[in-house]
Amino acid sequence: MTAGPRAFGALGAFMAAAALAGDREGCCDAAPAAPAAPSWEFTATAYPTIVRGGGDYTSAVVVAQRAALHLEARVNYESVGARSAFIGWTFGGGEEITWELTPLIGGAWGTTKALVPGLEASVGWRRFDLYVEAEYVRPREESSRYLYAWSELGYRPVEWLRFGLAAQRTHAYGAERDILRGPFAQLSWRRITLGGFWFNPGSKEQVFVASIGAAF
């Protein structure tokens, strides 16, 4: 064989090897990366409460969420001086109408000692949303058991403003009315949300609940 054919043969072998190496490298590069583990998200909200003709106090709620896992702790929620903790699982979906549902199970101690099953649910459509939060407080004394509920019907004309109507069923204030109703408004800036809920406006059983929340 002359030098020319041998040179072309060597060049062809080199190009074939380079192409095979490139194919192997591209195959390895195309392998999908392992999905990142879901991160924790936290929110903490304080609720200073002013009761007309009654005792003022502040309750607080801290939530830790990781994917569908929902953990929650509350202070002065079931009653003043009570502590409670919950674990739950969040389900959700929808496109035009979105929804989210979180069943909870937990317990309270302190001034209220009870098993407390609960539920948090929300539905959203365009700029409107409905939020419902409920729990059944089950102490050993059957006469002390009660259903607590909080609901909000909100409208968000812009991203930083939400307002609407709120209602709650509670025995916490010792008033004659079990169900309280009134307007509310919330302002959001980055991770901070400030709000106010005015129940029974104009009556002798007025209750004002402020909210100061942060997400991190």
- Alpha-carbon distance of 166 to 80, in angstroms, equals 22
The pLDDT assigned to 176 comes to: 58
Per-residue pLDDT of 98-145, as tens digits, reads: 999 999 999 999 999 999 999 999 999 999 999 999 999 988 887 788
The pLDDT assigned to 177 comes to: 62
Lowest-confidence pick of 15-19, 83-87, 111-115, 200-204 = 15-19
Nearest-CA neighbor of 150 among 181, 185, 104? 181
Q: What is the mean pLDDT of residues 84-102?
A: 97
**Is the full-model pTM beyond 0.85?**
no
**Is residue 7 predicted with pLDDT exceeding 60?**
no
Per-residue pLDDT of 30-76, as tens digits, reads: 556 666 778 999 999 999 999 988 889 999 999 999 999 999 999 99
